[in-house]
């Protein structure tokens, strides 16, 4: 239950907090962009099976690789793409915390 709460809390609750704390002038627009970062999960469609609760998404799916995260980090340095970078990196954080639970349950370290 903790795993699901943390994972989906970061996916949905944290973007709400970020939108209303840091984008006070247009929180609705910010929230829409931050929540739309979940669309990055389209790369799961290329995996077989599409969903595996015991698979770590980080560095498995193409848009969840460390190279992709580097690009999302570069987005932070440019105002037009900054909010997208924040949303995508929050998504990576949610998936990374999920991986920690997977590795812990398997007696492994990430």
| pLDDT (tens digit per residue) in 24-76 | 999 999 999 999 999 999 999 999 999 898 899 999 999 999 999 999 999 99
Q: Are 31 and 16 in contact (CB under 8 A)?
A: yes
Which residues, 6 or more positions from 19, have their beta carbon under 8 angstroms from its beta carbon? 27, 28, 30, 31, 34
The residue that leads in pLDDT, 83 or 105, is: 83
Sign of CA dihedral 2, 51, 93, 60: positive
pLDDT of residue 1: 81
91-110 pLDDT, tens per residue? 999 999 999 998 886 555 55
pLDDT at 108: 59
| pTM of this structure | 0.90
């Amino acid at each position: 239950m903790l795993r699901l709460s943390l994972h989906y809390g970061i996916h949905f609750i944290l973007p709400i907090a970020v939108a209303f704390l840091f984008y006070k002038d247009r929180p609705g627009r910010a929230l829409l962009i931050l929540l739309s970062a979940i669309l990055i999960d389209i790369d799961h469609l290329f995996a077989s099976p599409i969903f595996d609760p015991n698979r770590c998404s980080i560095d498995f799916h193409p848009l969840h690789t460390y190279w992709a995260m580097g690009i999302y980090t570069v987005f932070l340095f440019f105002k037009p793409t900054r909010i997208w970078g924040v949303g995508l990196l929050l998504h990576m954080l949610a998936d990374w915390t999920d991986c920690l639970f997977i590795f812990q349950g398997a007696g492994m370290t990430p």
